[in-house]
Structure 1
């Protein structure tokens, strides 16, 4: 079971709740929720890395990098406005490695439950110089 910690103010608005639930669905490998809340043409880009396109490919990559190996998720901040959202936090992996992350989301529409169209991820391993 993955330990999940979310700052109290990360869920006081509908779109913030949506982002929080989306991230939790990723680490819990909740494929039904992810499929429902991602567009068919979703893209995931890792800063300095590759861009993965299409729902099936993106969900498989998220499962590989964010579900199968994660032991703990901490979400520090979620910010949303219109078509855009951002979440930052810390992932702790089963092998003891830690990764600070910032995911920037672009939604299909500005409505509260619009599916995710694009994710851009920035990561750093804390303690690296």
Structure 2
């Protein structure tokens, strides 16, 4: 998997978990388009950087259950635990659909929901 889009995504996720937002952003193109379906779209690396400062002030924890890759796309399925309202840990289920260009992440469509318990 060395050098593959899958490995790039795993390295980027490791940077987020380590609180290294700049390490994550080093895997993104300057013109990244980050859409969280139902919430909105961020245009460009600087917009993502500013969003991450607050959204990832406390680094989330990821569990990647499956990665599926075809051509320039990688789909990640898993769970994420992040601080919710009042700082309480919240578990979310996600499906991230990433598009790559030259081994860099250029577009994200993130589907994130809270499981029904």
Measure the CA separation in 2 of the matches of 1:126 and 1:12.
33
Partner residue, 1:104:
97
Measure the CA separation in 1 of the matches of 2:111 and 2:65.
15
Partner residue, 1:115:
104
- Listed one character per residue, the Cα deviations across residues 81-101 of structure 1 (whole Å, up to 9, x for unaligned) are 221111111112241211111
Partner residue, 1:3:
none
- Which structure 1 residue ranges, 4+ long, deviate > 4 Å from structure 2? none
Partner residue, 1:50:
40
The normalised TM-score by structure 1 is 0.75
- Listed one character per residue, the Cα deviations across residues 93-119 of structure 1 (whole Å, up to 9, x for unaligned) are 24121111111101114xxxx111111
Higher strand share: 2
Other structure's SS at 2:67 match = strand
Partner residue, 2:78:
89
Unaligned runs of 5+ in 2: none
Unaligned runs of 5+ in 1: 1-10
**What is the root-mean-square deviation in Å for CA atoms of aligned residues?**
2.2
